[in-house]
A and B are shown apart, each in its own frame.
Chain A
Amino acid sequence: MSAETIRGPAVGTRQRIPFYRNVKTIGVLAQAVFAAVLVLAAYVVYRNVTSAMAASNLRGDFGFLDQRAGIPLAESPIRYTGENTYGRAFLVGVLNTLRVAIVGVALATVLGIAIGVMRLSRNFLMRAFATLYVETLRNTPLAVQIIFWYTALLTPLPPRILNPVELPGGGYVSNLGVALPWPYPSYHFGAWLPYVIAGVVVGAAVWWLRRRQLRLADRPGNALGPGLLAGLLVMVAGYLAVGKGPLPEATTASFREASGVVTVFRDLNGDGVKQASEPFVPYAAVTARIGEGGLQVQTQNLVESRRYVYGRFYFPPLRESEFDELEVGFADPEDAAERDLAIHFFSYPSRGVVYRDLDGDGAWDRGEEIDPEASSPRGYSAAIRLSFRGFERTLVADRNGEARLPIFATDFAVQESRGVNISPAQLFAPPAGGGQGEKEPLEADFTLLESRPLVLSKPTIPISKYEGGFRLSEKYLALLLALVVYTASFIAEIVRAGLQAVPKGQREAAKALGLSDSQAFRFVIFPQAMRVILPPLISQFLNLTKNSSLAPLAAYSELFAISIIIANQTGASVPATIMIIAAYLAISLVFALVLNAVNARMALVER
């Protein structure tokens, strides 16, 4: 190649480049123009927004945050009533988002790893199932999956909250979700707190010392176990030492029979009525005892969820052991005898069916509750009366100092989700003096019990929803289930790719060293795969968090769902949108920071 072909200014004869062709000048100019256009656009937008907001009565300030919201929120991790402000309602939303996101991330990771490992299983069936799982769930919209789970959890059986599945130990599962027994800190918790702190300190110290000792001796070993054990020992010893504490001064229980609510509070002025200035006593155990009384219901004739529930009756879930004396029977025994009716109990004394023994075997058979002679399938209608003496139940008040008694609700009309009405139960006066159907307030005695630092609250179903215990609503469960199952399908693919990225030689080397299959997986393959898996996994965690905004489909009240209500109620749509975006950005940022720190720690292990 000869020199003549090179064009351009000869060396030494450099001319100044005119400013309009200077790359630097052009860059600065371009940015200036761009910035000017942006500022202009921002100004136009600002003017438009303010004038349009003024014209359509929208507000642009954040003053609404201090106003009373009056939004009923079914579930909230913090104390919230309709009296609270919009600001607090929004906070409840953020917490509800975190509640579903954090649990969802943990469960989705476990399920995703399991499915991902299954995809590489030697077993054909597991492989096939995992492939089917991933390919179907990954390719269907999350919205459809939420509807699916929500329907699946809500629909299947007749009034299920009155017909719940009882778990051993006192939990319930029904179409309104799950309720489990749960220990809550009682008024006496403060006495135990020093021991808890001491336990944490001692545990940490033991762990640290043991780890140091192991390091100095250059031995492998477990430092976490002894640490945990020591800490727990201190806490348990403290718990036993503290024992039961006396109730706070002037603690009383008051009772509103119309709603069945027992309120535990400190009656400072001694008038027996809860004043606004008198504090609640949260998580106090109280035994309620009722002398005599009764309930009456009409049997059900309704079609629900593809099942006929003719002739059925439901009282709130009660236990026979809670009564001194109990009698359940027809309100009008003569009429029932005349019509040849009998009662069959599914669960004495709460659930049963009225039937006529058509085949004469002395027991209820499916179909006998329907009158075969009637042209339209109608059940036998009859009033069922439950009369009792000496009902006693021990309840634990909630964080608002409130507990609810089942039997004292004068009406327990249940509005089921599918528009099924369950006829109200009528409370009647003690059988000795009372006429049928009269509502008569019943007397109740309360004994407040002294508690240990923790009090076990068992869930009850006083009317048509759970009280006490630890509750997960069907809305939360449906959303959680859909998010977990959906995200796990993506995580499974990430895990599979990560496992396949580990060189085959690693596995072979591990086997050669005499490690078993499971050891090779746990100590050699998986830790290495983790480094490939973690970065995309983090983005899936963020996706799950953001996808929780589909909550309105499951009627779950989180950040986005509550913000919509706030925007609609206050007309503060612009501030509300700013809050939504800020909240999501903040959550994403915090998640990303924490997870990236974890990632950096994992990556450091590499040389």
Chain B
Amino acid sequence: MIEARKPPVRQTGPVAWARRNLFGSVGDTIVTLVGGGLLLWAVYSFVGWVFTGAHWEQIWNNIKLFAVYRYPVHLLWRPFTMVALVMFLLGIGAAGDRSEDAIVRGVYRWFMYAAGALAVVGLLFWPSVRFGWLAVALAGLAGLALGTAAPAVRRRLGWMWGASVVVAFLLLYGVFDSGPLQHVNTRLWGGFLLTMVLSVVGIVVSFPLGILLALGRRSQLPVIKVVCITFIEVVRGAPLITWLFIASLLVPLLLGLSDPDSISALARALVAVTLFSAAYMAENVRGGLQAVPRGQTEAARALGLSGWQTTLLIVLPQALRAVIPAIVGQAIGLFKDTSLVFIVGLFDFFNVADVVANQPSSLLVPGGIRMELSVFLAVVYWFFAYRMSVASRQLETQLGVGVR
């Protein structure tokens, strides 16, 4: 007679999962217990500090500085209108279900969520402008509704984005010398607004420049090739912070101006950020160009397309499509790196923290509030950068880069 055997160990369920993933061997068990203990202790003390030890009120009191720095209060409706405009366009983009635009829509959606979350945070901690945030949220919903109701609008989205850039600049900088649309000196710009201006302008303007540099680097004309390679390698050889410093010294000199303040610090920083970004963009685009099979060019030439037509219509579209994830990665890097403009005296999101830390009321807090500030900055930067990196990874899967 066969003896009754014990039932086999369960292979499913939480216990089995824990056995497999946490207590697989003696070593595993030790790691789990010790590491888990340490982790719990770290989380416990951090959470305890966040809720009882830390002084956050100083940050909420200065939320306006963090958002726009010294942008005049009575003109705050202008940046708000700009944000509402962006949300409106994002809403349009996020609507609809055309399958070929799934990637674009995914990115739009992420940004929509991010902007929405920011609106909620703003509503909670910056209540004096709650109508502004309400308008922003409504604009997003209106865009979504419009996009769903009239899909034809979405085809014009590219043009609308282009126009919105012009409108955004006019809104921020102003048109007239006085009145509601009066000029606002860029010295008053700052906070998250400035961080976004630097990142967006940097990445958008560097895009065409980077393509030109990449094409120049692959050119068969030696003079152009050497010039492009030199530019790319020299710029990439030194860090961004040095280029910012150098631009703030040299841009006025290059234009023959003896008074360095005749060009705003923002313009000088933008020059540095854009050229630096262009050099990296060129290398990304070059990667894409190299990925396009030679046969594509030969086929295009055989069909009778000119050199320019081949590049513009055949090679570049394929090359750029392949490097979108890399470009998103670069955008994340640039977004983080804009924090370096402190070196030229601009008060972006990062540098505003220094202003807040040195306020008399902050210095009165025992021990200062630099710890709180760095945690706050880290969370906000992380929120945006992480969302972008998730989007980039989705793009990668959808494009099938590197899977094949």
Q: Which residues of A contact B (CB under 8 A)?
A: 27, 30-31, 34-35, 38, 45, 47-49, 51-53, 55-56, 58, 122-126, 129, 135-136, 138-145, 147-148, 151-152, 155, 303-307, 418, 546-547, 549-550, 552, 560, 564, 567, 573-574, 577, 580-581, 584-585, 588-589
Contacts and interface: CB of A to CB of B under 8 A. Distances in A.
B374 A584 contact: no
Given A51-B256, A125-B22, A581-B237, A139 B381 contact: yes
B367 A140 contact: no
A549 B375 CA distance: 22
B104 to A, nearest CB: 22
Interface stretch (B73-81, B219-227, B295-303): B219-227
B35 A129 contact: yes
A83 B253 CA distance: 32
A560 B242 contact: yes
16 contacts: A27-B220, A34-B223, A47-B256, A52-B253, A125-B32, A135-B386, A135-B389, A140-B378, A141-B350, A143-B342, A145-B374, A155-B368, A306-B366, A306-B367, A546-B238, A585-B238
Interface residues of B, number: 60
B221 A577 contact: no
Contact of B371 (A56, A58, A155, A303): A155
In this complex, the member of B22, B31, B223, B259 whose beta carbon has the largest number of chain A beta carbons within 10 angstroms is B223
B24 interface: yes
B257 A140 contact: no
A155 B36 contact: no
B340 interface: yes
Nearest to A546: B239
Contacts of A48: 253-256
Interface centre among B22, B256, B259, B340, by most chain A C-beta atoms within 10 angstroms, is: B256
A550 B350 CA distance: 13
Contacts, number: 169
Contacts of A138: 389
Nearest to B33: A125
A139 B382 contact: yes
A545 B224 CA distance: 30
A1 B23 CA distance: 72
A584 B242 contact: yes
Interface string B234-262: 10011101100110011011111111100
Contacts of A124: 21-22
B367 A304 contact: yes
Contact of A577 (B28, B223, B250, B377): B250
Contacts of A580: 238, 242, 245-246
B336 A126 contact: no
B396 interface: no
Given A140-B385, A143-B339, A122 B242 contact: no
Nearest to B353: A147
A305 B366 contact: yes
Nearest to B259: A56
B377 A52 contact: no
| Interface pairs A-B: 9 shortest CB-CB | A48-B256, A55-B258, A124-B21, A139-B385, A546-B239, A141-B336, A584-B238, A148-B374, A31-B223
Q: Is the interface of B mostly helix, strand, loop or mixed?
A: helix
B121 interface: no
Given A123-B31, A139-B385, A145-B378, A52 B258 contact: yes
Contacts of B130: none
Contact of B22 (A123, A142, A547, A574): A123
B332 interface: yes
Of A53, A125, A418, most B-chain CB atoms within 10 Å: A125
Contact of B242 (A35, A141, A303, A549): A549
A216 B375 CA distance: 61
Contacts of A53: 253
Contact of B336 (A136, A142, A306): A142
A183 to B, nearest CB: 35
A126 to B, nearest CB: 6
A141 B253 contact: no
Contacts of B313: none
Contacts of A136: 378, 382
Given A139-B385, A143-B339, A155-B370, A577 B32 contact: no
B39 interface: yes
B389 A573 contact: no
Given A145-B374, A580-B242, 17 more contacts: A30-B221, A56-B258, A123-B22, A124-B21, A125-B32, A138-B389, A141-B377, A143-B339, A144-B339, A147-B353, A148-B378, A155-B371, A304-B366, A560-B242, A577-B250, A580-B238, A584-B242
A547 B240 CA distance: 9
Contacts of B253: 48-49, 52-53, 58, 574
B153 interface: no
Nearest to A559: B242
A578 to B, nearest CB: 9
Given A53-B253, A123-B21, A147-B374, A140 B382 contact: yes
A122 B28 contact: yes
Nearest to A47: B256
A581 B242 contact: yes
Nearest to B337: A141
B354 to A, nearest CB: 9
A534 B340 CA distance: 29
A367 B370 CA distance: 28
A125 B35 contact: yes
Interface string B320-342: 00000000000010001101101
A27 B22 contact: no
A143 B341 CA distance: 11
Q: Which of B20, B258, B374, B382 has the most chain A CB atoms inside 10 A of its CB?
A: B374
Nearest to B338: A141
Nearest to A567: B249
Given A123-B24, A140-B385, A151-B374, A547 B239 contact: yes
Contacts of B370: 147, 151, 155
B129 interface: no
A125 B220 contact: no
Contacts of A573: 249-250
Contacts of A574: 249-250, 253
A45 B254 contact: yes
A549 B366 CA distance: 31
Given A125-B32, A126-B31, A552-B343, A155 B367 contact: yes
A27 B221 contact: yes
A305 to B, nearest CB: 4
B108 to A, nearest CB: 20
